[in-house]
Amino acid sequence: MGAAKGCVMNLGLGRLGAAVSMCAVVATCLAVSGAHLRYLQPKMVAELAKAASQVEAGSLEEADARLDLVLVRGKVNISLDTARLTIAERVAAEKAFADAVDMWRQELGDDVTFQVVPQEMAQVRFRWSDGQAVGGRCAGHAVWSRQVWRAGEGFRSDLSADVELALYGSDGGNLPQESLVQAAAHELGHILGMDDTGRRGDLMGPVRPGRPVSQLSSHEREALDALRSEGKELAQVCLLQRLSMSW
């Protein structure tokens, strides 16, 4: 179990020591390296490492449940709480969210599905503040939790998150639409396991009105690709081992 949080304007540095050694667990060498760690949440890298150890130990169901979290498999059910907003604010917020989802679709194709659902069905809740920037200087803020637990004979996993986004800057002025999109895409990035970088020009860096970021930087893309390709490789090993056991 673990909850974590991130803020679009916060510099999420100082976690580079969370290196996890996991190579040589499967036949092909795994690809997440030290250079990628500054872009990935240590917890997510740890989940990948645990899954690798569990594959090696033959705990395939538990490994598979962890890989659900690493790969964000299945649909991610998200509610958009815009009830307190004016019509114009609601249009801006919903458009920003839709554009952020589109951005991720361009990055990941159909690999991950973000789906808007009613609040009672949501595992992730997006909420837009009708006041000034969240927490004084944030364009967005997220708290998330990922868990794997034993359920009967098997294992289950759960991802949940609460996201709050601002519509106005700390000066009270409207944040530009492109900044709203970046902030929403940034928070979806946290859900996918990316960490704050503090680097200008990164999606997971600070939102700078007038200098919006509309795609991952090459470093971010490389790190996420490494995480996901390792996760997929392990999932494949899990599948093959489970199939061979059922023969």
122 contacts 162 by C-beta, under 8 angstroms: no
Q: Is 68 in the site for Zn ion (CB under 5 A)?
A: no
Q: Is 212 in the site for Zn ion (CB under 5 A)?
A: no
| Rg over CA atoms, the chain | 18
Nearest distance from residue 73's CB to Zn ion, in Å?
A: 23
In terms of CB distance, is 70 or 185 closer to Zn ion?
185
In terms of CB distance, is 56 or 178 closer to Zn ion?
178
DSSP 122: -
Secondary structure class of 185 (helix, strand, coil): helix
Figure out which of the listed residues 6, 193, 212, 231 binds Zn ion, where binding follows CB under 5 A. 6
Task: Give CA angle at 231 (225, 232), nearest 5°.
Answer: 90
Pairwise CA distance, residues 222 & 40, whole Å: 11
Choose one: 7-15, 28-36, 171-179, 232-240; the region binding Zn ion (CB under 5 A): 7-15
165 contacts 139 by C-beta, under 8 angstroms: yes
In terms of CB distance, is 8 or 101 closer to Zn ion?
8
Nearest distance from residue 190's CB to Zn ion, in Å?
A: 6
- Phi/psi for 169 (5° steps) reads -80, 175
Nearest distance from residue 214's CB to Zn ion, in Å?
A: 16
Task: Give CA angle at 12 (122, 139), nearest 5°.
Answer: 55
Choose one: 1-9, 43-51, 122-130, 227-235; the region binding Zn ion (CB under 5 A): 1-9
In terms of CB distance, is 68 or 187 closer to Zn ion?
187
Q: Which of the residues 166 through 205 are near Zn ion (CB under 5 A)? A: 196
The site for Zn ion (CB under 5 A) is made up of 6, 8, 196
